[in-house]
């Protein structure tokens, strides 16, 4: 059992000497260049640079047989593309029924890490999960998701969320983002790069890494009406049919900044 720490106090206390120095209340400042909180381990760690020089980028590829919808689907995160799991995943994004926000980088009681299981029960959320980890795996830094997509909407959103799945099946959010852009309505396949805010988390033995892909995260982000019109003038909306590709030609993946365990 990892001991809980008073996180808010441990965030505020190191900032006091920084303010004292810059406000002229002290003549010296002795602080590490970087101080990060490693979730999972629940510890603070001092570093000399950012991003960390010892980072190794590891790619987990999206795989499925075309039914990655919800956590009960067949979506997988694998270290290689599976030639038998290269079917196209598909979901419907309806702005009138957006995926609800569950935690994240917000203010208020709804912020922070929250259980994602209800979100992952939806058919409009694609869920890709790794095998159970045999050893600790630390992810510290910026997470990148590369998706190959197509849509029938002239403008729409795609979201990505990194999740830690505990041995009891509960899934907790770590970092998420959204990308909004316009598309030619030509049925073409387009590569998107989604940059998730930096995080630091130790996925422990027995845990699994998970990626959620969808098109809304409301009310954290505004809903895209999928029409291409200006949001402040749009009174209508339409559903969007979203397609995620994962194959040798379209290798959708998540790139994780891994910190070796001998740190």
Task: Tell me the per-residue pLDDT of 158-205, one tens digit each, with 9 for 90 and over.
Answer: 999 999 999 999 999 999 999 999 999 888 999 999 999 999 999 999
- The number of distinct structural domains making up the chain is 2
Question: In this predicted structure, what is the pLDDT of residue 1?
Answer: 44
Are 86 and 124 part of one and the same domain?
A: yes
Are 253 and 144 part of one and the same domain?
A: yes
Average pLDDT of the residues of the chain: 93
Q: Is the pLDDT of residue 133 over 60?
A: yes
Tokens 């922070």 belong to 112
Q: Is the pLDDT of residue 9 over 80?
A: no
Cβ–Cβ < 8 Å for 240, 156: yes
Are 138 and 185 part of one and the same domain?
A: yes
The three-point CA angle 219-69-155 to 5° equals: 50
Instruction: Report the alpha-carbon distance of residue 223 to residue 186 in Å, rounded.
Output: 23
Q: Is the pLDDT of residue 2 over 60?
A: no
Q: Is the pLDDT of residue 40 over 80?
A: yes
Domain that holds residue 164: 56-259
Are 75 and 191 part of one and the same domain?
A: yes
Q: Which residue has the higher pLDDT, 229 or 156?
A: 156
Lowest-pLDDT choice from 19-33, 53-67, 181-195, 203-217: 19-33
Q: Is 234 exposed, middle or buried (0-12, 13-18, 19+ CB in 10 A)?
A: middle
What is the reported pTM?
Answer: 0.93
Task: Examine residue 1 and state whether it is found in any structural domain, yes or no.
Answer: no
Are 187 and 73 part of one and the same domain?
A: yes
Bridge partners of 256, per DSSP, are 58
């Amino acid at each position: 059992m990892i001991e809980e720490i008073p996180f808010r106090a441990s965030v505020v206390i190191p900032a006091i000497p920084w303010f004292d120095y810059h406000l002229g209340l002290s003549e010296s400042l002795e602080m590490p260049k970087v101080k990060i909180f490693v979730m999972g381990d629940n510890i603070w760690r001092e570093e000399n640079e950012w991003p960390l020089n010892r980072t190794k980028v590891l790619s987990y590829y999206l795989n499925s047989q075309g039914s990655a919808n919800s956590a009960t689907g067949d979506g997988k995160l694998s270290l290689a593309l599976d030639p038998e799991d290269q079917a196209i995943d598909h979901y419907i994004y309806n702005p009138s029924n957006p995926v609800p926000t569950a935690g994240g980088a917000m203010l208020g009681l709804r912020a922070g890490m929250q259980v994602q299981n209800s979100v992952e029960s939806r058919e409009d959320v694609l869920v890709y999960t790794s095998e159970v980890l045999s050893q600790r795996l630390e992810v510290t830094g910026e997470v990148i998701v590369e998706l190959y997509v197509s849509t029938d909407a002239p403008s729409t959103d795609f979201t990505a969320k990194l999740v830690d799945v505990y041995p009891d099946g509960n899934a907790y959010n770590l970092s998420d983002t959204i990308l909004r852009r316009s598309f030619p309505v030509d049925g073409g396949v387009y590569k998107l790069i989604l940059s998730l805010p930096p995080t630091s988390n130790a996925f422990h033995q027995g845990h699994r890494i998970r990626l959620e892909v969808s098109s809304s995260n409301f009310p954290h982000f505004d809903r895209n009406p999928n029409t291409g019109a200006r949001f402040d003038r749009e009174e209508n909306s339409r559903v969007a049919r979203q397609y995620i590709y994962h194959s040798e030609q379209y290798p959708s993946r998540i790139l994780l900044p891994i910190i070796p365990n001998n740190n």
